[in-house]
Amino acid sequence: MSLFQFYAHNSREALTLIGQHLYLVAVSTGIALAVGVPGGVLLTRRPAWRGPVLGLANVLQTIPSLALFGFLIPLPFIGGIGARTAIVALVVYALLPIVRNTYTGIAGVDPAVREAGRGMGMTDGQLLAMVELPLAAGVILAGIRVATVVSVGTATIAGAIGAGGLGVYIFRGADMVNNTLILAGALPAALMALAADGLLGLAERKLAWRAR
Amino acid sequence: MAGAVTGGRRLALACGALLAVGCARGDRVVVGAKNFTESDLLAELVAQQIERRTGLPVERRLHLGGTFVCHRAIIAGKIDVYVEYTGTAFTAILNHAPLADRDGVYRAVAAEYAERFGFDNTFAIVVRRRDAERYGLRRISDVAPVAPRWKAAFGYEFLERADGFAGLARAYGLRFAAPPTAMALGLTYRALADGKADLIAGNSTDGLIQALGLVALEDDRHYFPPYEAAPVARADLLGRHPQIARALDELAGKISEDAMRRLNALADVEHQDIAAIAREWIARSLP
Amino acid sequence: MSAVLDVRGARYALPQGRVLVEDVSFGVANGETLVLLGRSGSGKTTTLKLINRLLEPTAGEIRVAGQPTYALEATHLRRGIGYVIQEIGLFPHFTVEANVGLVPRLEGWSAERIAARVRELLALVGLDPGVFGGRYPHELSGGQRQRVGVARALAADPPLLLLDEPFGALDPITRVELQREFLALQRRLGKAIVFVTHDVREGLLLASAIGLMHEGRIVFLGTPEEFRRSEHPACRAFLAAAG
């Protein structure tokens, strides 16, 4: 059966799996953003924390994804079988690029701009919202882009722990030695990654403040 | 004398060359296993038996993948031997409709199979003990009324096989709240124990059923064919080394269901090393 | 005429103990420009930052328009003081108009009032609002940028202006131009100004009073004329170096 025929026959299931995959990536990236951007901002305000926090995020990043899923399963609350564990693992992987890029982007703002802002009476919050974040937006978006593309690929492992997603096709295809199935899972995942990369790259270019 | 010494050296060289050629792939036996504990255990048994009886070097490739992966591997010559189950060979590989007659199934596949080990490891439909007590579940038919409120989880292979979920659901009229969740086979027990699923398909000889407070239900409508374990080996290997067939036949009928269950428990529950378990069993059970 | 700025016994010591500013006192009234002159490291920039609390004084009292600086929230205090720095620090992602109108915007002025004020100030510093209003800092020359910097500092009409070597990064010709315009502006607006520089000629040109700092203390405080005639070795050294 060709790939095209496969999708034609299994359109509902394929769409469901794609939807699950998008859900896993969207939720985990959203959480990583909600934690990572403030985290990165905090690091610019507390330079002493930078080493340990970035170091920890680095270490977490190096854990092979299958191993991380495996570690999480036995844990109470965040572990177990299913989407929640998958999301926790995906958040862990998305954190480093986001935290690090937020830190770098803000730290890279011209100190003179920051001094002028403070000297004119901007509060820390105003400085952050009106100056630092807009100037760092391009770099932060680059981090989000990396995190999202990595997530799309890593989310395929969710299929092994009953969390759905395109990994279901890939694992099924591997077990049944069916290359069409494997492709049926891998191809949309690859396209999704490319699309995310392209869209976020576009946003990055529009928002990036390049010194001229 | 000079002539004899040189002659001796030439002979030694020739033997060395022969050995070297023999040691390349030709002589090495590759034993594979499917991706669950019992398969690894039986493969290790087979491997050690071949080693001790024939002296041939054996390479293990345990936990390779599912049925179809091992099947493809043996056909492609990547492995020489693995342990298959008669029912699986009959339905999943040869694509016959499931059949309940043990010997009939064995005869159909016997062409390539060595003697059976002596136990039947069928798919066991497993639920939690407290659910079995609360809803009075002893047989699979008893599940039909509770199924609409339940979630099922299975490994990928069971979902796709002809003797797997689809046929089971039809045979017993099982309709679950949602399509079953697919996951790595090994995780289905955890899913059941953690309450993430209410019904799974394990193996009747699994050590974890007892250990996790689970119950296997009786296949009252005899949906599943018999799954008697037997080693399957490549014909060209047996042709080259007929002593392998004799070594494997020594294992025939030596393992009862209870015995297999106990061996599985040693691995899954007590986490003993598979090679050690196999060694001890051979020492106890074979001459 | 009461002083707009009154500094008494200001002191700044680092947490590790080193004292950067010791017992500094001076006053600046409307229309006066106090030039803080001194070598690098003499404490003049530090003193400046004590006034708007970018650095917190370790001791001493500083009053702006009669109010002690510690009585106000720091950000509040700073909005009432104009601040111009050498690197200028315009927001690169804001237009010239948005840059100039920053403090009024923070203070919640209406859009029309801000726009009118911005136009007025740009004209004041010699930049045609129609031409420059919508431009971005990177499209301006160094001199134009600093004019915007000055306009920005004046936007909320603060009584006091602090300038830290504002023309230091500009080429000599532009610098002279801006010095002249600064003098004209001051004559017109009559603000109280503290102007930090290490350039003696600039100091003598712009000052109504000169405070010479040396190793964290004021060693001379007087008019430019008095400075020229002073026998104090530090003054002599400065004048000699200026040629």
Question: In B, which residues are within 8 Å of A161 by CB distance?
Answer: 183-184, 187
- B191 token code pair: 């899913």
User: B interface mutation test: which of A15, A85, A175, A181 has the most B CBs within 10 A?
Assistant: A175
B181–A contact, CB cutoff 8 A: yes
User: B interface mutation test: which of A65, A85, A161, A176 has the most B CBs within 10 A?
Assistant: A176
CB neighbour burial string for A39-71, b if at least 16 within 10 angstroms, e if fewer: bbbebbeeeeebeebbeebeeebeeebeebbbe
Q: State whether A177 and B194 contact (CB < 8 Å).
A: no
CB A99 within 8 A of CB B215: no
B63–A contact, CB cutoff 8 A: no
Question: Average pLDDT for residues B15-36, to the nearest whole number?
Answer: 65
A76–B contact, CB cutoff 8 A: no
Question: In C, which residues are within 8 Å of A131 by CB distance?
Answer: 91
Give pLDDT tens digits for A180-210.
Answer: 999 999 999 999 999 999 999 998 888 776 6
Task: Specify the long-range contacts of residues B41-44, CB closer than 8 Å, at least 24 apart.
Answer: B41/B263, B41/B264, B41/B267, B41/B274, B41/B277, B41/B278, B42/B83, B42/B117, B42/B229, B42/B231, B43/B81, B43/B82, B43/B83, B44/B274, B44/B275, B44/B277, B44/B278
Give pLDDT tens digits for B173-188.
Answer: 999 999 999 999 888 9
Q: Provide the pLDDT for residue C196.
A: 96
Q: Tell me the nearest-neighbour CA distance from A27 into chain B, angstroms.
A: 20
| Dist CA C107 CA C156 (whole Å) | 9
Adjacent-strand bridge partners of C76: none
CB A170 within 8 A of CB A186: yes
| Dist CA B280 CA C133 (whole Å) | 89
Q: State whether A117 and C87 contact (CB < 8 Å).
A: no
Residue B272 has pLDDT above 60, yes or no: yes
Q: Provide the pLDDT for residue C166.
A: 95
User: C interface mutation test: which of A120, A122, A133, A207 has the most C CBs within 10 A?
Assistant: A120
pLDDT band at B1 (very low <50, low <70, confident <90, very high): very low
Instruction: Report the residue from A80, A176, A177 with minimal CB separation from B196.
Output: A80
User: A interface mutation test: which of C48, C78, C86 has the most A CBs within 10 A?
Assistant: C78
Question: In B, which residues are within 8 Å of A164 by CB distance?
Answer: 181
> Does A contact B via 3+ CB–CB distances below 8 Å?
yes
Low pLDDT (below 70) residues in chain C: 1-2, 243
Residue B5 has pLDDT above 70, yes or no: no
- Strands B81-85, B123-128: parallel, antiparallel or unpaired by DSSP? unpaired
| Dist CA A103 CA A37 (whole Å) | 8
State which residue of chain A sits closest to C100, comparing Cα positions.
A120
**pTM of the predicted model, to two decimals?**
0.80
Q: Tell me the nearest-neighbour CA distance from C88 into chain A, angstroms.
A: 7
Q: State whether A175 and B160 contact (CB < 8 Å).
A: yes
Q: Provide the pLDDT for residue A210.
A: 60
Is residue B118 helix, strand or coil? coil
> Does C contact A via 3+ CB–CB distances below 8 Å?
yes
| Dist CA B127 CA B217 (whole Å) | 8
| Dist CA A143 CA A97 (whole Å) | 5
Give pLDDT tens digits for B127-142.
Answer: 999 999 999 999 999 9
Q: Provide the pLDDT for residue B9.
A: 41
A169–B contact, CB cutoff 8 A: no
Sign of CA dihedral B269, B273, B278, B279: negative
Question: Average pLDDT for residues A109-130, to the nearest whole number?
Answer: 95
Q: Tell me the nearest-neighbour CA distance from B31 into chain A, angstroms.
A: 19
- B14 token code pair: 């020739």
Give pLDDT tens digits for A33-75.
Answer: 999 999 999 999 998 999 999 899 889 889 998 888 888 888 8
Q: State whether A162 and B182 contact (CB < 8 Å).
A: yes
State which residue of chain A sits closest to C138, comparing Cα positions.
A212
Closest CA to B40 of B234, B219, B206: B206
Adjacent-strand bridge partners of C214: C217
- Could you give the ipTM of this predicted complex? 0.90
C153's enclosing H/E stretch is helix C142-154
Q: Tell me the nearest-neighbour CA distance from C56 into chain A, angstroms.
A: 13
| Dist CA C173 CA A117 (whole Å) | 28
| Dist CA A179 CA A182 (whole Å) | 5
CB A153 within 8 A of CB A193: yes
> Does B contact C via 3+ CB–CB distances below 8 Å?
no
**Exposed/middle/buried for residue B167 (C-beta within 10 Å: 0-12, 13-18, 19+):** middle
Those chains having 3 or more beta-carbon pairs within 8 angstroms of chain C are A
C144–A contact, CB cutoff 8 A: no
Greater pLDDT, A154 or A82: A154
Question: In A, which residues are within 8 Å of C85 by CB distance?
Answer: 112, 115-116, 119
- C198 token code pair: 């290490």
Instruction: Report the residue from C80, C93, C138 with minimal CB separation from A135.
Output: C93
Q: How high is the mean pLDDT of chain B?
A: 85
Residue B51 has pLDDT above 80, yes or no: yes
Q: Provide the pLDDT for residue B94.
A: 74
Q: State whether A121 and C77 contact (CB < 8 Å).
A: yes
Q: Provide the pLDDT for residue B88.
A: 86
Give pLDDT tens digits for A162-184.
Answer: 899 999 999 999 888 899 999 99
CB A209 within 8 A of CB A105: no
Percentage of chain B modeled with pLDDT above 90: 51
State which residue of chain B sits closest to A79, comparing Cα positions.
B194
Q: Residue B212 is which amino acid?
A: L
CA distances from C220 to C3, C21, C53, C241 (A): 19, 15, 24, 17
Q: Provide the pLDDT for residue B97.
A: 67
| Dist CA B157 CA B197 (whole Å) | 17
Q: Provide the pLDDT for residue A167.
A: 95
C91–A contact, CB cutoff 8 A: yes
pLDDT band at B100 (very low <50, low <70, confident <90, very high): low
CB B196 within 8 A of CB B153: yes
Instruction: Report the residue from C52, C91, C93 with minimal CB separation from A119.
Output: C52
Three-state secondary structure of chain A: CCHHHHHHHCHHHHHHHHHHHHHHHHHHHHHHHHHHHHHHHHHHHCHHHHHHHHHHHHHHHHCCHHHHHHHHCCCCCCCCCCHHHHHHHHHHHHHHHHHHHHHHHHHCCCHHHHHHHHHCCCCHHHHHHHHHHHHHHHHHHHHHHHHHHHHHHHHHHHHHHCCCCCHHHHHHHHHHCCHHHHHHHHHHHHHHHHHHHHHHHHHHHHHCCCCC
The side-by-side arrangement of strands in the sheet containing B81-85 is B58-65, B29-34, B81-85, B229-233
Residue B122 has pLDDT above 80, yes or no: yes
Q: Kindly report which listed range (A12-21, B89-98, B179-188) carries the lowest average pLDDT score.
A: B89-98
Residue B33 has pLDDT above 90, yes or no: yes
| Dist CA B15 CA A156 (whole Å) | 52
Question: In A, which residues are within 8 Å of C135 by CB distance?
Answer: none
pLDDT band at A158 (very low <50, low <70, confident <90, very high): very high
Q: State whether A175 and B69 contact (CB < 8 Å).
A: yes
Q: Provide the pLDDT for residue B16.
A: 40
Listed by number, the residues of chain C in 176-205 with a beta carbon closer than 8 Å to a beta carbon of chain A are: none
Q: Provide the pLDDT for residue B114.
A: 72
Give pLDDT tens digits for B193-244.
Answer: 988 899 999 988 888 888 889 999 999 999 998 888 989 998 888 888 889 9
CB A52 within 8 A of CB A60: no
Q: Provide the pLDDT for residue A133.
A: 94
CB B119 within 8 A of CB B205: yes
Q: Provide the pLDDT for residue C219.
A: 93
CA distances from A141 to A105, A125, A204 (A): 10, 20, 6
Adjacent-strand bridge partners of C15: none
| Dist CA C30 CA C186 (whole Å) | 10
CB B183 within 8 A of CB B157: no
CA end-to-end span of chain B: 47
